[in-house]
Structure 1
Amino acid sequence: MNVTERISIVLSQLKDYGKDTLLKTITDLDISSNELNFSIEEKGKKRPYERKLLYKDENVELLVMNWSDLECAPHDHGQSFGWIKVLEGKVKNTVYEVKEDFLPTELFEEQQDVGSTFYAPIEGVHKMSGSSKEQKLVTLHLYSPPITGMKVYDLEKCAACVVSDDCGAWWPEEQVQKVKEIKMKKAE
C-alpha cells in the first residue's frame, strides 16, 4: 500500500476530530518526507512554501509543505485547528497575540526540530520559516475542519487580509485572492 492509499484509509475512517485524536493520527501515520518528496517550482521560490494537498474531506485536510528560504506572514487558520509535524529540517515558529483590531504582537519564538509536532489553535496567530537557509524544511499539516477564511497580517502595511482558500500564508498577489482587507491599529 502506498502512502496516498494509507492516508486515505486512515483519514476517511476518522470518527472524532478532536485535538488528541488529530495528534494521535498525525503521529500514527508515520509519514516520512521521502514518501512525499516534491520539489519547489520556480514560482515557489518567490513564496515561503509550495504545498501539496494529500487528503481533504468535509472534516479534515492533510497537507505537506516544502519550504523556500522565505518566512511566511503572520497568519491564523480561520476556524480550524490542527497539528504541524516537522518531517525534515528545523522550524522557527513565532507565536503572536492579537487583541481586537490591533496588529499582532510577538509573544515568543521557538525552535521545532525534525520529528517534533506542535499545535495550531483556532484563531492562534503564528509565522514559520526554516531556522537554517542551508537546510531543507518539509512540514506536514493536519487541520480540522479544512482551512477557510485564513487571515494573513502585513505588519508593515498595518493591515490584515482574509484570503481565498487557494492563497497561502503570504500577502495575496492577485486581487481575487483578497476576500476582505482590514486596516489594523498599531499596538500602543
Structure 2
Amino acid sequence: MDSTEPGASGKEPITDMNGDEPKPGDLIEVFRNVYEHWAVYVGDGYVVHLLGPDGSLSSSSTINLPIGKNNVLKQKLLEVVSSDEWVINNLHDEEMQPRPAEVIVREADKLVGSSRSYNVVEYNCEHFATELRYGNAESQQVEDALKIGLGVTGASLALGVVILALIVWKTRE
C-alpha cells in the first residue's frame, strides 16, 4: 500500500454499511429517522454538506424548519453520520455523467461557510449534493414523496368518482 492510499497511515479506513470506502466526489446518503441526509465526500475523512433542515446533526432530528437559510459545512464524515447508517450512493451515475472528482471537490470547498436557501421541496441537502456531483440539482426523496402524494390523491379521486357514480346510479333506479 502506498502512503497516499487511505489506511496507509495505520488508521482504519472509513467504510459504509456495505464495506465500501468513499472516494472524493462520492455522494453519501445518511439514514436519519424520518429522512435521508446527503453530503459530498471530499477526501481525508471529510464531507461537505448543506446543514440539515433543523440546523442540527442529531440522528434523532426531525424536519421542522422546511424553508430558510442554512450553512454549507465541511465536517468529518463520521461526525456527520454519528450513530446512523450510511452508504455511498451515486444514484444518478447510470443516467448522468458525474463531473470530474477534482471539480466536485473544488466547487464543494468553495461553498464551505456560505449560506444557501433551503426548501425541503425545492432545494434540500440532496439537491445540493447532486448539483455538486452532476451539475444538476435533483432530489429522489422529493420525487418519491410527490409520486406517493399524487398516487394517494389519485386513488382518493378515483374512489370519489366511483362513490359518486354509485350514488347517481342508485338515485336513477
Does the pair score TM above 0.5?
no
Structure 2 length-normalised TM: 0.27
Higher helix share: 2
Q: Between Structure 1 and Structure 2, whose CA radius of gyration is higher?
A: 2
